[in-house]
Structure 1
Amino acid sequence: MLPFAEYPLRPSDFAASLGSTVAIAPHPDDEALGCGGLLALLHQAGQPTAAVLVSDGSMSHPNSKTFSAAARRAVREGEFRHALTVLGADTTEPLLLELPDSQVPGTAAEPGFATAVARLRAYLLQQQVATVLVPWRRDPHPDHRATAALVQAALAGLPQPPRCLEYVVWAWERATPEDLPTDADAVSGFRLDITSVLAQKQRAIAVHRSQVAPGVFVDDEAGFLLSMEVLAHFAVPYEVYFEANEPEI
Structure 2
Amino acid sequence: MRADAFLAAADALPVADLDSLVARGGLVVVAPHPDDESLGCGGLIAAARAAGRDVCLVVVSDGCGSHTHSRLYPPDKLRTLREAETLRAVAILGLAADSVTFLRLPDAHVPSAGPEAEAAAHAVVQAATACEAGAVFVTWRHDPHCDHKASAAIVGLARPLMPKVAVYEYPVWGWTLPPETEVGPAPDGLRLDVSAYRAAKARAVAAHESQTTDLIADDPTGFRLEPAMIDRLCGPYERFVRIPA
Task: Give the TM-score, by structure 2 length.
Answer: 0.89
Does the CA-based 8 Å contact 1:16-1:47 persist in structure 2?
Answer: no
SS at 1:78 equivalent:
helix
AA matched with 2:224: L
Relative contact order (alpha carbons < 8 A, sep ≥ 6): 1 or 2 greater?
2
Which of 69, 73, 79 is the aligned partner of 1:73? Answer: 79
Which of 50, 57, 60 is the aligned partner of 1:51? Answer: 57
Superposed, which structure 2 residues align to 1:1-249 within 5 Å? 1=4, 2-3=7-8, 4-11=10-17, 14=20, 17-90=23-96, 92-108=98-114, 112-158=116-162, 160-174=163-177, 176-178=179-181, 180-182=183-185, 187-214=187-214, 216-244=215-243
Aligned sequence identity (%)? 35
Q: Runs of 4+ in structure 1 displaced over 3 angstroms?
A: 11-18, 175-181
AA matched with 1:207: A
Would the alpha carbon gap of residues 84 and 113 (structure 1) be closer, same or farther in structure 2, given more than 3 Å must change? same
Does the CA-based 8 Å contact 2:56-2:127 persist in structure 1?
Answer: no
- Between 45-54 and 133-142, report the one with greater CA deviation: 133-142
Does the CA-based 8 Å contact 1:58-1:73 persist in structure 2?
Answer: yes
Superposed CA RMSD: 2.1
Rounded to whole Å, the distance in 1 between the matches of 2:180 and 2:160 is 28
SS at 1:161 equivalent:
coil
Rounded to whole Å, the distance in 2 between the matches of 1:191 and 1:123 is 24
AA matched with 1:23: V
Q: Which runs of 5+ in 2 are unaligned?
A: none
Rounded to whole Å, the distance in 2 between the matches of 1:21 and 1:207 is 23
Q: Deviations over 1:29-78 (max 9, x none)?
A: 10000011011110111111111010000110000011110000000000
Task: Give the TM-score, by structure 1 length.
Answer: 0.88
- Offset of residue 165 of structure 1: 1.6
- Between 188-197 and 48-57, report the one with greater CA deviation: 188-197
SS at 2:99 equivalent:
coil
- Offset of residue 13 of structure 1: 5.7
Q: How many pairs align?
A: 239
